[in-house]
Amino acid sequence: MNGQQIIKLFYTSGITILRDVYECSPYDLADGLMPLNTARKYTRLATVFFGPADSPKVQRDSVALAEARQLSLEYLEMVNKHAKKLNTRGAAWKLRAELIAFEGTFEEVEAYAKKRVTEEGGDTKKKPGVRLGRVVDGLRTISITDTQRRITDLEKTLDAAITDEDQPRSEALLEPFWDLIEGTGTGLIRPEYRTVIAIGLDDFAKVSCDKGEDVVVALSDGTTMTGSEFINAAMEGALGDKLYVGLFHPTAGPVNLYEARFASDKLRTLAMAENLVCPWPDCNVPADRCQVHHIDAHKHGGHTKPSNLTMLCKYHNGVNDDGDPANPGSQKRKNKRGKGKPSRGRMRRHRGKVRLQTPGGKLVGNTHHVSSMGAMNLI
């Protein structure tokens, strides 16, 4: 049995494993093979599915279905993570049964689970405030929770004061933060939305007529704003003295033709309007902090035109395979010793939208909520 077969067996035997684990002590299960915390996690999960329950019939039916569907431990753990947020008698097992029966990818089921928990009132929403952590190794942590607009405006102010671009960002923001708090810096700079705002024509018409209370638009700084906030920002002059209109084709993407090596401000703005956050799956870096990336590398004949440009964060711009698409062997990256590294995949435009093409040929998009509100999604 090879490694891939072992992984497949493990990932299709969640209920079988938990049935045996239920009879174990976490200390016996660990037995030097795994951390005790991991063993405790498995035994707690086994107790949920095989221990006493407030809905025993629903529990039995759910276990049988989970076994028939060959669901993994990771899947069952995700189901339980969301269901246990519901405290009403029987509600947790009702949701577990619903999620076990739900057909979709792991990510689709998790997104549905979050939606259902919110609908059932099981989510505790974050509240604005300042929280101070305890001392650890002579250091303390401060955490601030407030509206996305106030925090993002603060972030832009701190970003503007960074002097060392090579420093890790968290370190580079520290001194500007204290300068602001202690009054030794330049004070609070009111940021303008040089950030790109993506809005469809229908929504813009509603907002312009002061009927956009329910309209939500997305920005390339990774946030959203309501139609009324959009109007207020415009009235206060926060949107700057120029507004740009980008033209997008449903399948070709941004429309324009330029052949310069480096992207102009206009091309960068179009790329930001299309991808408000880095389009690499699971990345949340806003387009404001991304680099312009040639989908087909310029060195292999890729043109500097809107349909061949996208925004990628510094990290994913670095790991993207920039080899010649016509010669797949050229896409293998080299490490410092000149040896090949496994491919991470490359960005490509498919049916008008930018996706990651994995080494196995699968096309994957970013599921970040702001990513789904870019210009191409408004057509």
Between 71 and 306, the higher pLDDT residue: 71
Element (H, E) at 350: strand 346-350
**∠ Cα 241 242 244 (to 5°):** 160
Report d(CA 150, CA 76) in Å as an integer: 38
Confidence of residue 75 (pLDDT cuts 50, 70, 90): very high
Confidence of residue 223 (pLDDT cuts 50, 70, 90): confident
Mean pLDDT of 361-370: 88
Per-residue pLDDT, 9? 86
pLDDT digits (tens, 9 = 90+) for 135-145: 889 989 999 99
Mean pLDDT of 335-348: 68
Mean pLDDT of 40-53: 94
Q: Is the pLDDT of residue 328 over 80?
A: no
The SS3 assignment for 89 reads: coil
Report d(CA 104, CA 141) in Å as an integer: 39
Report d(CA 288, CA 227) in Å as an integer: 21
Q: How many CB atoms lie within 10 A of CB 42?
A: 20
Global confidence as pTM:
0.58
Average confidence score pLDDT of the chain: 82
User: What is the residue whose two structure tokens read 């929770």?
Assistant: 145
The SS3 assignment for 170 reads: helix
**∠ Cα 249 250 255 (to 5°):** 15
Confidence of residue 110 (pLDDT cuts 50, 70, 90): very high
Worst-scoring range by mean pLDDT, 90-94, 116-120, 303-307?
303-307
CB-CB contact of 361 with 328 (8 Å): no
| Helices 174-182/148-160 angle, 10° precision | 100
Q: Is the pLDDT of residue 34 over 70?
A: yes
Confidence of residue 256 (pLDDT cuts 50, 70, 90): very low
CB-CB contact of 213 with 226 (8 Å): yes
Per-residue pLDDT, 247? 60
